[in-house]
Amino acid sequence: ASFLLLCFRSPLAAPLIFGLLLQAPPTQLSTITQPNFVLLLADDLGIGDVGCYGNDTIRTPNIDRLAKEGVKLTQHIAAAPLCTPSRAAFLTGRYPLRSGMDAVNDYRVIFWNAGSGGLPPNETTFAKILQQQGYSTGLIGKWHQGVNCESRNDHCHHPLKHGFDYFYGMPFTLISDCQPRETPEMDRAFRRKLWLSTQTIGLITLTAVLGRLTSLISVQWKTLTCLAGFSLLFFVSWFSSYGFVRYWNCIMMRNHGITEQPMVTDRTTSLILQESISFIERNKHRPFLLFLSFLHSHTPLLTTKKFLGRSRHGLYGDNVEEMDWMVGQVLDAIDKEGLKDTTLVYFASDHGGWLERQEGERQLGGWNGIYKGGKAMGGWEGGIRVPGIFRWPGVLPAGTVIDEPTSLMDIYPTVVHLAGGAVPQDRVIDGRDLLPLLRGAAAHSEHEFLFHYCGVHLHAVRWHQRDTGAVWKAHYVTPIFSPPGAGACYDRGFCPCFGEGVTHHEPPLLFELSQDPSEAKPLSADTEPLFDTVIRKIGRAIEEHRRTLTPVPEQLSVSNVVWKPWLQPCCGTFPFCWCDKEGDN
C-alpha cells in the first residue's frame, strides 16, 4: 500500500496509469501470426445486386451476414472495368497497364485459351509470396489470365506458375458458347462479318462457275479453281477456331490436366463448391489461401434446378441467389472446421454489372444501383465501384461501414503483410495495406488519387481531398451512349475506350462524389469556386503518375490474342480434343 501511495505521488504516475486504462484491449491479431485467407470474387456482379448494398428484391443473406459480422466498404474500386485486366491488377496489386494486361485495341480481354498473351511470368502475385511464407495456396474457378506462351504444354501463364499449389476450374471464362442451346456470345459481331464474307466469296465463286458453264463469262478453269480454293481456305481459316469455341475455350482443368473438354455445365457449380470445401478440409491444420473465383454471375448464368425460378429477377436473380448460397456453404465449412476466428474472408466483384447483356426482353446482366454506367466503362462509377466486404471476428470490428476510396489492388499488400511477407521493392505497387483502415486505427484511406483506365486510355481520375473529406472525380473521356441517353452502349454491346464512340472533354467533366455519387451534375468554373484548383491538382497528379510508367510487352496485342492451334490445350491428339474424366469417375 505504501508503495502504491508513493507511486501516485510521482508526477509521472498519473498520466501513465491513465494512459494504460485508456489503452484498447489486445485483439487476436497479436496471437494469430498467419491467418487463413478466403477470397471470394464474383464475376460481373453489380454493386446494386447485393442486399447489404441496397437491393431489397434479390436475396443475399450470406453475403449480408458477412457485412453484418465484418466491415463493408462503400467506395471499393476495381482497377479496370473488364475481367482480364481487373483480375491482373487484383493478383499483382498493380494497375494492369504496368504488366501489359490492358489493351491498346478493341481486344480488351484474353479471347482464347490458345492465345499467347497472359499474366507475365515476371509478375509476382500475392499467391506466390504466400506460398514462400509456407501457405497452401489454391485457386478454384475462373482464371482468365492465359495458359501457354510458345508450346501447348509450357503453361507459362498457368495458375501453378503464379504461386498456386492447386488449381481446379476454367483457365478461360464462362461464355454463352459453353451452352449449346444458347446464342453464341464470343466476338458475335465479328463472326457475323466472317459469315457474310464467306457467303459473299462463295456466291462469287458459284456465279463464276455457272457463268463459265453457260458461256456467259469467259474465264479459265484454272482461275475458277484458284477462286474455289481461296473460298475454302478462307472458310477453314476462321471456322477452325470460331466454329469450335465450345471445345477450345470451355474446358475444365485440375492443375495441368484437362478434366472436361468441353465442360459439362450441368455439374460445374457443384464441382466448384465441392473442390472449395475439400481444399479447406485438406488444409485446416496449416495456413492456407483459398481464392474462390466464381463463374457466377457471368452469362450464360449457369444455375442449378434448385434455384431456377426462385428470384424476382429472372435467371440473373436466380444465379446471384445461388452464388450467395455457395458463399454460405463455404462459410459453414470454415465454421465446421473451427477456423472462423483465424480466417480473413473477403468478398468482392471483379467489376460492375453488364447493362447491355440482353436476349430479347431478358436482362442477363447486373444492376449497378445509383451509379452511372457499367461493365467495360472505365470512368463511370457503375463500371468500377463494386461490393467490398471483410470479415475477421475478434480483429475487425463487426458492423462497420467505411466510405473511403479503396481498391481491389489493396488486397495484395494487405494479405502479404498479414502473412508475414514483404511486397516486392523492385516495382511499383499501387495497392495499399488496408488493415489500419479496417481496424479503425486509421481514419482515412492511403489513396489520395486513383486512376481509372479504359484499356490503356486514361478516362478519369479520383482525388480524395483528405482535409475536407471531398472526393473529386474528373472525366477526360466518356463513352457515347447508344441510343442517346440510354445509360449504356446497347447498340454496340460494349462501350468503347477510344475512337468515334467516345467524347473527349476539355475542360474535363468534374463531379464531387460525396455530394453527387450518381455523377448526374457536372460542375463548372461558374458553379464551383474550386474548379480550377481541383483540375490543376489532378493534372499534376497525372503527370507524376505517368512518370512511374515504363514500356512493357503488350499481352493483349492482336498477335497475342489470336487463336494459335499449336497452343491449344487438348486432352487428346489435336484436333481431336474430347474427354470427360469427371464423368468417368
Distance, CA of 214 to CA of 66 (rounded, Å)? 76
Kind of pairing, strands 343-349 and 385-391? antiparallel
Q: Could you give phi then psi for residue 280, rounded to 5 degrees?
A: -65, -45
Instruction: Record the cell numbers describing residue 510, joined without a space.
Output: 468534374
Catalytic, 444? Answer no
Distance, CA of 322 to CA of 272 (rounded, Å)? 13
Catalytic, 505? Answer no
Q: Which of 76, 83, 459, 495 is catalytic?
A: 83
Assess contact for 84 and 97: CB atoms under 8 A: no
465441392: which residue's cell? 274
Looking at domain 36-174+250-444+559-580, its CATH class is alpha beta
Q: Which of 144, 157, 447, 464 is catalytic?
A: 144
Largest separation between any pair of C-alpha atoms in the chain: 127
Q: At what angle do helices 2-9 and 13-22 cross, to 10 degrees?
A: 100
Concatenated DSSP letters of 531-563: HHHHHHHHHHHHHHHHTT------TTSHHHHS-
Assess contact for 352 and 384: CB atoms under 8 A: yes
Distance, CA of 486 to CA of 484 (rounded, Å)? 6
Instruction: Record the cell numbers describing residue 310, joined without a space.
Output: 426462385
The helices-and-strands tally (H runs, E runs) of the chain is 16, 18
13 CB-near residues (< 8 Å, 6+ apart)? 7
Q: What is the pLDDT of residue 362?
A: 86
Assess contact for 371 and 380: CB atoms under 8 A: yes
Tell how far CA 160 is from the center of its chain.
19
DSSP 365: S
Concatenated DSSP letters of 158-213: SGGGTT-SEEEEESS---GGGSTTSPP-TTHHHHHHHHHHHHHHHHHHHHHHHHHH
Residue 271: Cβ within 10 Å count: 19
DSSP-derived 3-state class of residue 574: coil
Distance, CA of 507 to CA of 493 (rounded, Å)? 29
Distance, CA of 112 to CA of 170 (rounded, Å)? 12
Cis check: omega of the bond before 575, within 30 degrees of 0: yes
Distance, CA of 47 to CA of 42 (rounded, Å)? 11
Instruction: Record the cell numbers describing residue 128, joined without a space.
Output: 506466390
The β-bridge partners of 261 are: 579
DSSP-derived 3-state class of residue 445: coil
Kind of pairing, strands 136-142 and 166-170? parallel
521493392: which residue's cell? 425
Burial class (CB in 10 A: 0-12, 13-18, 19+), 43: buried
Residue 142: Cβ within 10 Å count: 25
Ramachandran class of 144: left when φ > 0, alpha when ψ lies in -120 to 50, beta otherwise: left
pLDDT tens for the chain, 585 residues long, are 433 333 333 444 444 334 433 444 445 555 567 999 999 999 999 999 999 999 999 999 999 999 999 999 999 999 999 999 999 999 999 999 999 999 999 999 999 999 999 999 999 999 999 999 999 999 999 999 999 999 999 999 999 999 999 999 999 999 999 998 888 888 888 888 999 999 999 999 988 889 888 888 888 888 889 989 999 999 999 999 999 999 999 999 999 999 999 999 999 999 999 999 999 999 999 999 999 999 999 999 999 999 999 999 999 999 999 999 999 999 999 999 999 999 999 999 999 999 999 888 889 999 999 999 999 999 999 999 999 999 999 999 999 999 999 999 999 999 999 999 999 999 999 999 999 999 999 999 999 999 999 999 999 999 999 889 999 999 999 999 999 989 999 999 999 999 999 999 999 999 999 999 999 999 999 999 999 999 999 999 999 999 999 999 999 999 999 999 999 999 999 999 999 999 876
DSSP 565: G
Q: Which amino acid is at 307?
A: F
